[in-house]
Chains A and B, each alone.
Chain A
């Protein structure tokens, strides 16, 4: 599916701002997962700014599409997408990991736009299966349920229990999206516990598979369109999005040491400048934060 130049720019911008806000909130929060947030920036950008039917003013609107983040440690990217989409003010993201602020992992009771709570890996696809079944009971034909999984979490048996049941119940309103960023918490997936042949596993479980470059907004858009409208009904669909963990700043790319790691303010400043350069955005890094009155908090404290 062809995006107009305006749409393309809008989605690229959204992906940039998801990364920018992720760096900022993880630095402020002094904890978080940069690698797994960056790798799904384009996936979230296309889902929230192009594909999904949503109304941020009515987070519980029954006709909405649902997105469940099974790899809930990627919460910074999701919080950023929700803020940019208008679920809450952008300022809110700077409460990440503060007592009473945005949770380190996802807590659906505290943040509008979150469809489930999570943290432990391998659990989100089961919840998505339940939502997809529930929507079918309600005879809600329009909404789709999207579940973003990590490649590492596909080591978990629970994922495959859920995959088996989704095919058994012919859940064609369920679309799994795997952010296949190749890196787990402590090394490469192929080294720690290989998941290949990955697409074959899903096919063997009765799913239709689409494989794409997860950083190409055009490809992501087309894959979601195909999954929703083109592929035959009756089977669940998985989009395997090949991505780069830490995509956006060189020091974090394919680097497991940025799986869970908060940058110090100087490193964050470097990251913000590099992101801006790469995505053709105004380079203001730390100075933008200073203008917004965040300087003290960004550099001071604890």
Chain B
């Protein structure tokens, strides 16, 4: 019989798996917006970690939850600026394929 209990370890493994999926998408996707989405997945994996630590290690201090709120704020700002950058690049280059973005090569 499996030990049916959920502790910090299970949450950390779930968070590691989600982070891995996001990292794979960031490294292997062609579309710039897909990369932005996968960065969101990675940030959410970090949030799982923070909230799990908040519950199991420091329940009364709320450090983890407050940090997760700041992570969500930064992620929202990042998506806004990232999409604006992608739209600006698309107007110049008519492409969102990251392999086409090679202006900094010489």
Q: Do A and B bind each other?
A: no
Which residues does B use to contact A, with CB under 8 Å?
none
Which residues does A use to contact B, with CB under 8 Å?
none
